[in-house]
Structure 1
Amino acid sequence: MSEVTVLGLGRVGYRTLKLLHELLSQASFNAVDANPGVKPLVEALGRTVFHAYSQDVLKQLAKKSDLIVTALPSSTAFPILKSLAEECVDIVDVSFTREDPYLLEPVVEKCGSVFIPDAGFAPGYSNLVAGYVERELGELESIDIMVGGIPSYPVPPLGYVVTWNPLDLIEEYKRPARIIRNGEVVAVDPLSETVTVDVEGVGRLEGFVSDGLRTLLRNTKARNMREITLRWPGHVGLMKFLRDLGLMSEEYVEINNNRVQPVRLLAKIFEARLKADVNDVAILHVEATGTSGGRYVETAVLQGTVENPATPYFTALVHAYASYLVVKGLVKPGVQPLENMSEHKHKFKEYLESKNVKINIKR
């Protein structure tokens, strides 16, 4: 019987744990979190022992677990992942880290273990689609990976609802976005241009270039490649206005003898004012052309509810299924972002569709 440890029981991690209970009906589970208040919730699932987080506890669990499934805050994720990799345990991770996952490759290769980084919605399923497209079409002339987690209708005043750390959200509109243009990796202003796309089942959306290609920059051969974050029309212009006005700046300004960073003030305003109990939708829309002329378009849409929002649920679905494949011994050792696992694309598609993700493919 397999023993699986899930580390981090937030919006994604807890959902992943529940899904793994369905996928691995014979496994036993450890659940680890810094908040002991979640203990009754996870132990009510059965076959699960809760552990309050500490480095010693994690080290002990790593020695006896067949797999550790991680969903950690970006501020702490990489050092913890590094310490787990050094224990030679298989890892499937969904945490965002600024560090390149391939920094762990020497340790993972020495151990002969598996490390799947970015095993979520986007990056994650988006990578799987990109890898599959390259497998189908060969070298790519262009690929646009368009992703969005948005309210089901444009909520005033920005057409958006904040459901995650507002500082991390604002960073998306500031951080230079790495794309591939004419075969070269270049960094561009994320708000330098607006893209418009009609998504079947959702409607017309607009997007801005975002820095989400990550391992695809290394592993996917494309002459031109971009990730585009989708929003309701009008949103990008409003965010550019706020940025150009200086409200996303980290430089201190003095107000009545108090030093304030405008970006932190804006984040607080977003946290307070961009809230609404509305359903949401997670969207992935990929358009690709091969250098030999082939074309591939895939659209994946998941409608969410207030109780079960689409973006964390879609993320957990991919996280859980990637973990299932590792437990079943279907992933080869090494650092294996999902673009390297395109042979499992049809299995992921079947699983996602069984969980109400609508997937449409055109060639």
Structure 2
Amino acid sequence: MKVALVGAGLIGQSIANLLRETGDFDVVAFDRDEHALALLDAQGIATRRVDSADTSALRQALIGFDALVNALPYYLAIGVASAARSAGIHYFDLTEDVRATHAIRAIAEDSVQAFMPQCGLAPGFIGIVAHDLAKRLDDVREVKMRVGALPEFPTNALKYNLTWSIDGLINEYCQPCEAIREGRTQWVQPLEGVEHFSLDGIEYEAFNTSGGLGTLCETLAGKVESLDYKSVRYPGHRELMKFLLDDLRMASDRDGLKTMLKRAVPSTAQDVVLIFVTVTGMRHGQLVQDVFTRKIFAKQVCGMPMSAIQITTAGAICAELDLFREGVLPQSGFVRQEQVPLDAFLANRFGKLYEGASAIVAERALAAA
């Protein structure tokens, strides 16, 4: 399969190396950043300098490819998906933006090509897990999805380091969040719904952020009483971010906030990704709760060091592209994350990056309510 990888940042580089390693994908990386392309050139990966914001130029560059993998920031997703539609090739991306996903669904309408956004960690893998657990129940009461991309060794007041797209981080902290409450889909505010929990002796907090549910609200509408997604952080992070966004009104100055965070908050490759999903409901007349957790740490993959967020994000989109290539997924139109079978994902050569993590998969019976 000939793949155009659009976006040669850290995640794009990880995707390129994972796909190239198999020998089943002919990858060409597109970007306008000569330095980023030079890094891939040095690793023996073909590159092409293209301005991804120029839809017309991108469409021409895509001729002859089978699929496009978009590893660019969310605000470029609609234009890139439009270029893929015009070029007649399949489309996969990592966007967490709700508006972009709705627009891509419209682009995919009546298409003979597949359009599959939200192929990362959250949205993405987290929705695959939640949907699979929900299917195992006769009646679903509650679905809770929690994900954290955290520094392994927090040292600053925010107890946070930049481990992925800063644009995506700000977007999920500022946009309204979908949820289901008492069986009704509704919008809730970001940074609200704070809860605290501990796992493996470490204390965490979680709160509403945008986009992590993907299309699950629509898929599970009328089938679940309560459904929500929250980002996991170390205690105290949410209060400081709320101070910045609300009290100092930085939510209305995203460029200023981005500049501030880039200047003050260092990045780290020593990170950990925490995945925590609980689904509660009835099975064979008994109230049960299924729990799926993973802790994934930075490590060497394909002979190169990768952070946990690189492993989980790149691993997820590569697994879904591979399953698509094998015919496991729908081959045309808009494809939802919850159409990916969890067993097939975890058995996939890329999906096994998730299986290599410390894992607890448990079911426990609850007293009847």
Shorter-chain TM-score: what band?
Answer: 0.7 to 0.9
The answer for the alignment partner of 1:125 in structure 2 is: 125
> Which stretches in structure 1 are left out of the alignment for 5+ residues?
251-260
Amino acid across the alignment from 1:209:
N
- Cα distance in 2 for partners of 1:302, 1:136 equals 25
Confirm whether residue 53 of structure 1 aligns to residue 31 of structure 2: no
The structure-2 alpha-carbon separation of the partners of 1:53 and 1:18, relative to structure 1 and needing over 3 Å to count, comes to same
> Which stretches in structure 2 are left out of the alignment for 5+ residues?
364-369
The answer for the alignment partner of 2:260 in structure 1 is: 269
- Cα distance in 2 for partners of 1:92, 1:33 equals 16
- Cα distance in 2 for partners of 1:236, 1:82 equals 36
- Cα distance in 1 for partners of 2:47, 2:120 equals 24
Deviations 1:249-270 (A, max 9, x none): 42xxxxxxxxxx5x65554333
Confirm whether residue 308 of structure 1 aligns to residue 299 of structure 2: no
The structure-2 alpha-carbon separation of the partners of 1:63 and 1:294, relative to structure 1 and needing over 3 Å to count, comes to farther
Asked if 2 retains the 8 angstrom alpha-carbon contact of 1:51 and 1:57, the reply is no
The answer for the alignment partner of 1:253 in structure 2 is: none
The structure-2 alpha-carbon separation of the partners of 1:271 and 1:227, relative to structure 1 and needing over 3 Å to count, comes to same
The structure-2 alpha-carbon separation of the partners of 1:57 and 1:359, relative to structure 1 and needing over 3 Å to count, comes to farther
Q: TM-score normalised to the size of structure 1?
A: 0.85
Aligned length: 348
- Cα distance in 2 for partners of 1:182, 1:291 equals 17
Amino acid across the alignment from 2:277:
V
Deviations 1:105-157 (A, max 9, x none): 46535332222110001111001102211222244211110011011133221
The answer for the alignment partner of 2:250 in structure 1 is: 248
Amino acid across the alignment from 1:246:
L
Confirm whether residue 20 of structure 1 aligns to residue 19 of structure 2: yes
**1:294 Cα deviation from its structure 2 partner:** 3.3
- Cα distance in 1 for partners of 2:145, 2:76 equals 28
| 169-178 or 291-300, which deviates more | 169-178
The answer for the alignment partner of 1:113 in structure 2 is: 113
The structure-2 alpha-carbon separation of the partners of 1:359 and 1:350, relative to structure 1 and needing over 3 Å to count, comes to farther
Q: TM-score normalised to the size of structure 2?
A: 0.84
The answer for the alignment partner of 2:366 in structure 1 is: none
**1:71 Cα deviation from its structure 2 partner:** 1.0
The answer for the alignment partner of 1:255 in structure 2 is: none
Amino acid across the alignment from 1:111:
S
> Which structure would you say has the larger RCO, counting Cα contacts within 8 Å and 6 or more residues apart?
1
**1:4 Cα deviation from its structure 2 partner:** 1.8
- Cα distance in 2 for partners of 1:301, 1:107 equals 36
Determine which of 208, 231, 244 is the counterpart of 2:233: 231
| 331-340 or 118-127, which deviates more | 331-340
Alignment of 1:258-297 (within 5 A): 261=253, 264-275=255-266, 277=268, 279-292=270-283, 293-297=287-291
Alignment of 1:73-222 (within 5 A): 73-105=73-105, 108=108, 110-164=110-164, 166=166, 168-200=168-200, 203-211=202-210, 212-220=212-220, 221-222=223-224
Deviations 1:143-190 (A, max 9, x none): 110011011133221111134555653443333322110111122223
Deviations 1:193-238 (A, max 9, x none): 32112223x7221111112223111112421011010001122223
The structure-2 alpha-carbon separation of the partners of 1:101 and 1:42, relative to structure 1 and needing over 3 Å to count, comes to same
**1:316 Cα deviation from its structure 2 partner:** 0.4
- Cα distance in 2 for partners of 1:27, 1:191 equals 40
Amino acid across the alignment from 2:239:
G
The answer for the alignment partner of 2:32 in structure 1 is: 34
The answer for the alignment partner of 1:254 in structure 2 is: none
**1:299 Cα deviation from its structure 2 partner:** 0.6
- Give the 3-state SS of the residue equivalent to 1:137 in structure 2: coil
- Give the 3-state SS of the residue equivalent to 1:154 in structure 2: coil
- Cα distance in 1 for partners of 2:334, 2:96 equals 16
Asked if 2 retains the 8 angstrom alpha-carbon contact of 1:77 and 1:96, the reply is no
- Give the 3-state SS of the residue equivalent to 2:306 in structure 1: coil
- Cα distance in 1 for partners of 2:308, 2:334 equals 28
- Say what the alpha-carbon RMSD is for the aligned residues: 2.7
Asked if 2 retains the 8 angstrom alpha-carbon contact of 1:33 and 1:52, the reply is yes
